[in-house]
Structure 1
């Protein structure tokens, strides 16, 4: 059996998307990775079963503890993120909780970016209080706020970049240096970029997570997560929180993500190109107050495109001139866009963060995090940009007509 090694520096990411993690010689000649849809694995003898449970012999025991289909996904993601190992989880939130709860306990302190995905915010702001874990939310674009938040019991830092949903870009080199200097474990959610556009390990980040539901799968038919880190860290995560709480992925979902990953590089290229065209259109539109997209020169994160990010991604935030009701009417007036949360699908999606994905925030917390009532988030899909823009134009015309009638 031969395996394309995770540390094979000669292979480009486009190639790794297809070949990394694949095994040869043990699938009866199948080109596509087989789906091992089994809950348990048969031992040759009682002695072999005991040896596997004792860790004295490699091999599979029970799918919650490991599965060949899942393992290929984990090895592929480790290769793409240029790290040693990975753990696949049942959801993106299982990846967040697994990556964090495996390393903190009652009495520890965690620093978190003040703007993150709504359910991640709820986990840190609401659930962690039950476990006696102290959390401080800070603006991570300001290094002085990181320093001010540091405590003797600070154990871990958690951040997203670009931030969901206002696309603020954080300086990963600054965050990585800060965490290494102070002995703090760093966890970064890389969902918006995928490993094609950003590899946080290059900047000293310890643990990388993804909602694999999004770009990694890319087809809107899976809910899953990925944690990528060192062998030691992944060993701890798998043998504690994932094993005992049980948020592990199903083999079928792992198989679907493996299928999606084969086209990840070409999909990300198209997402970025189309999003840039749409962002420039929105930026010129007289009914748009502000556009949040790193591909625009005036965006705060544009400077990181050459040093940290290899593309601006496929998600755009924007605010239209008008109140919350106008924003809802705009969303309801689109036809091509699917009104749905999530991102990274072939279909273009549109949603209202304040009332949907970020509703766990109070209004005061949202505004402090830079998430306004009128913010609209779109995930640009793989449709032709002429059709995407025509749909947006129709929505703008609809609310303009409604405004004219009301006046």
Structure 2
């Protein structure tokens, strides 16, 4: 299978490999599995935390979409991230991370992993040279989001991979915003790709899941061991739902991008908007990099309203179709104010330094009719 959507539909779901020729892979709910004898007690499927036929099918599909040799599914994106760190790092190890990261990832680093003696240095990774400058003899991992949340900053993945290789460190790329439809970091030199599959991969705001994709069999075995030992795995029904969602990922991402580009262009000329941040715009400072390492720009955009926090609150509370809610990547459009919601735990001084102003609004553009979305945005802007 070569084409992305062909793999999305068929990978992991070969009817010739199922008992009854199921075209859609069945949901295997059993937690444990009968054995004919003690001698074969550890053969095949033994216990569903270790492996499950439905989850196995999902992991094959996830690997196929990232063009990876292996994939592992988890109960959430943060469970996936935590497993990567616990499996590959130890006390005293050091991470160089992008300074613009999802708030939950920073919380994981600063309030959980710090207790295990793992240190993190945050840098503006738009310039790969800043990554190199932050390296220490203890650096074992470089952690990137590209594009980032919520400022949609990019890192040159190839350049970061070369730095990681010279340093003997793992390069981890959170590919949640771009998805494997628009960007495949492993092909650009990354060692590990992580996803909050709750977002675009699921696409319907109805399940929690995470994913890790790798090419190294050694790294895979370490992660697989910890996946089983820690046990933060998705249940069979969620695995099935995620497989079903992935079949339409390409179609959804094309429409997310279409709507996001049109809305970004519309907002860019609006008198009540100070700036629009979207990698697909030629005004984005890293637009040329986005064109080089991505095949599209996804459905996330941020914009800054004149009038600060007050204007931002009035805007989001006046929307009728676009829902005020955290999370992103669903078929429905969602809006939030990072300074008051997803990034509220970050001190204001630190937020402002990074560009997360009080008037910044993050918009996850859904697949509704474009005219309805623009009309909703316009009527809300009149009330700011």
2:329 is paired with a residue whose SS is: coil
Question: Paired residue for 1:47, among 39, 48, 54?
Answer: 39
Is the 1:173–1:203 contact (alpha carbons within 8 Å) kept by the matching residues of 2? yes
Task: Give, in whole Å, the separation in 1 of the partners of 2:275 and 2:366.
Answer: 21
Task: Give, in whole Å, the separation in 2 of the partners of 1:293 and 1:203.
Answer: 22
Match of 1:338 in 2: 323
Match of 2:219 in 1: 233
Bigger mean CA deviation after superposition, 17-26 or 96-105: 17-26
Match of 1:384 in 2: 369
Corresponding position: 1:74 with 2:78: no
1:31 is paired with a residue whose SS is: coil
Question: Paired residue for 1:149, among 121, 134, 157?
Answer: 134
Task: Give, in whole Å, the separation in 1 of the partners of 2:12 and 2:161.
Answer: 27
2:302 is paired with a residue whose SS is: strand
Question: Paired residue for 2:9, among 8, 18, 26?
Answer: 18
Task: Give, in whole Å, the separation in 1 of the partners of 2:344 and 2:37.
Answer: 53
Is the 2:13–2:23 contact (alpha carbons within 8 Å) kept by the matching residues of 1? no
Match of 1:98 in 2: 83
Match of 1:182 in 2: 167
Shift of the 27–361 alpha-carbon distance from structure 1 to 2, 3 Å rule, reads farther
Provide structure 1 residue ranges, at least 5 long, that are not aligned to the other structure.
Answer: 1-9, 400-407
Taking only aligned residues, the RMSD between alpha carbons, in angstroms, comes to 1.2
| TM-score, scaled relative to structure 1 | 0.92
Q: CA deviation at 1:44?
A: 2.0
2:383 is paired with a residue whose SS is: helix
Corresponding position: 1:32 with 2:24: yes
Match of 1:115 in 2: 100
Q: CA deviation at 1:369?
A: 2.6
Provide structure 2 residue ranges, at least 5 long, that are not aligned to the other structure.
Answer: none
| Deviations, residues 230-260 of structure 1 (Å, cap 9, x unaligned) | 33212211212x2222211111111000000
1:350 is paired with a residue whose SS is: strand
Task: Give, in whole Å, the separation in 2 of the partners of 1:370 and 1:65.
Answer: 43
1:306 is paired with a residue whose SS is: helix
| Deviations, residues 280-304 of structure 1 (Å, cap 9, x unaligned) | 0010111000101001101023112
| Deviations, residues 137-185 of structure 1 (Å, cap 9, x unaligned) | 1111122221221101111111100000111111111111111121110
Task: Give, in whole Å, the separation in 2 of the partners of 1:60 and 1:111.
Answer: 39
Q: CA deviation at 1:73?
A: 0.9
Number of aligned residue pairs: give it: 382
| Deviations, residues 112-131 of structure 1 (Å, cap 9, x unaligned) | 11110001011112222211
Is the 1:218–1:260 contact (alpha carbons within 8 Å) kept by the matching residues of 2? yes
Match of 1:361 in 2: 346
